[in-house]
Amino acid sequence: MLAYEFMQRALLAGTLLGLIAPILGVYLMLRRQVLMADTLSHVSLAGVAAGSLLGVNPSIGGFAAAVIAALLIERLRAVYRTYAEVPVALLMTGGLAVAVVLMSLGKSLSQSFSAYLFGSIVAVSSTQLGLIGAAAGIGLLFFSVFRRPLYAITFDEETAGISGVAVRRLSAAFSVLTGMTVAAAMPVVGVLLVSALLVLPAALALRIAGGFVAAMILSVGIGLVGIFGGLTLSYTVNTPPGGTIALLLLAFLILGIMAQKLWLMVRRHGGYGRRHTKVVPAIKTVVRVTDRTEYRAAAQGKE
């Protein structure tokens, strides 16, 4: 499998995406912006179509459209403060509508679109690999340098702003990075499944991780295993890579939730886990509920 150049490219692209997408997913989930990835992928598709029609590299067209849409969402988020999901829905519909109309104008585009919609290992060109590398590099640098203010705005934007964090600028930069990553991930997993790469590893990591950093590391681990496993499985059984990766990550999530519930059940019923659980007496709280009705009635009787 590794002898083929397209597989080497796909695995390299997968590794880079596996490093950045799950970290982004953790922040998106905690900021309640999960649908943003889906929206940006739809808008990015419109950019791909526009790029093709205008004779610009479709990948660069998709990249530009996703970044512009990300900034627009950020702007609209301030306008629709109470209904934060409205700008996301507006752009998702608008993006897909523009993509469909542009696609109908260029009949020859239809075939290459299926590669963008569902992802294809052979679709990862050198330009796309370069864009994925750029998105991953910039993303990892961004998350390393700004990890502290990002933690603050993810917990509470208002308090972060009062503490001196440049919330709007940081939030805009985060949105741009989301747009870049989504556009970069499209050739591997496809437009329709791009959010799976961001959200599923993060969803599992957030359930089982004890702390913030642990959630990041776990999500990257889960994402990488899902991508490598999905790509290998896709090559072996000849299935679309995007769908295979998404299904594998979904299976991880379901198994993870089941395992967690089983573990908690075993611990509660004094099984294997109890012998290994350290109970700190100061933290253990026992609540006793006493019905005082009789005492009160008796006291009132005495009076």
Partner 1 sequence: MITQGAIEMILSSMRDVEFGYGESPVVQGVTLDVYKGEFLGITGPNGTAKTTVLKLLLGLLKPWSGRIELNTDAFGGQKPVIGYVPQHASSFNAGFPSRVIELVRSGCHGRLGLFRRMGAEEERLVQSSLEQVGMWELRRRRIGELSGGQKQRVCLARALVQCPDVLILDEPTTGMDAHSRLELYRLMRHQTRQHGITVVMVTHGLEEAGRYLDRIITLEKVEDDMAPQADLSQAEQTAGERWGGE
Minimum CB separation of residue 213 from partner 1 in Å reads 8
Q: Cβ distance 131 to 63 under 8 Å?
A: yes
Q: Does 155 bind partner 1 (CB under 8 A)?
A: yes
Of 60-68, 105-113, 150-158, 171-179, which part binds partner 1 (CB under 8 A)? 150-158
Determine if 209 is a binding residue for partner 1 (CB under 8 A): yes
d(CA 23, CA 136): 11
* CB-CB contact of 129 with 168 (8 Å): no
Stretch that binds partner 1, among 11-19, 92-100, 202-210, 220-228 (CB under 8 A): 202-210
Residue 253 identity: L
Kindly tell me which of 105 and 162 has the beta carbon lying closer to partner 1: 162
Task: Compare residues 34 and 60 and give the one whose CB is closer to partner 1.
Answer: 34
Give the residue with the Cβ less far from partner 1, 26 or 28.
26
* 152 belongs to the binding site for partner 1 (CB under 8 A): yes
Contact flag: residue 156 with partner 1 (CB under 8 A): yes
Determine if 295 is a binding residue for partner 1 (CB under 8 A). no
Q: Give the Å distances, CA to CA, from 33 to 77, 87, 187, 198, 209.
A: 10, 11, 22, 11, 20
Q: How far is the CB of 77 from partner 1 (least distance, A)?
A: 16
Q: Counting contacts by CB under 8 A, is residue 263 touching partner 1?
A: no
User: CB of residue 153 vs partner 1: minimum separation in angstroms?
Assistant: 11
Q: Per rule CB under 8 A, is residue 264 in the interface with partner 1?
A: no
Question: Considering only residues 163-192, where is the footprint of partner 1 by CB under 8 A?
Answer: 163-164
CA distances from 4 to 143, 251, 256 (A): 33, 28, 33
Residues 189, 186: Cα–Cα separation, whole Å: 6
Query: Site for partner 1 (CB under 8 A): which residue of 1, 78, 141, 214?
Result: 214
Under the rule (CB under 8 A), what is the footprint of partner 1?
26, 30, 145-146, 148-149, 151-152, 154-156, 158-159, 161-164, 206, 209-212, 214-215, 280, 282-283
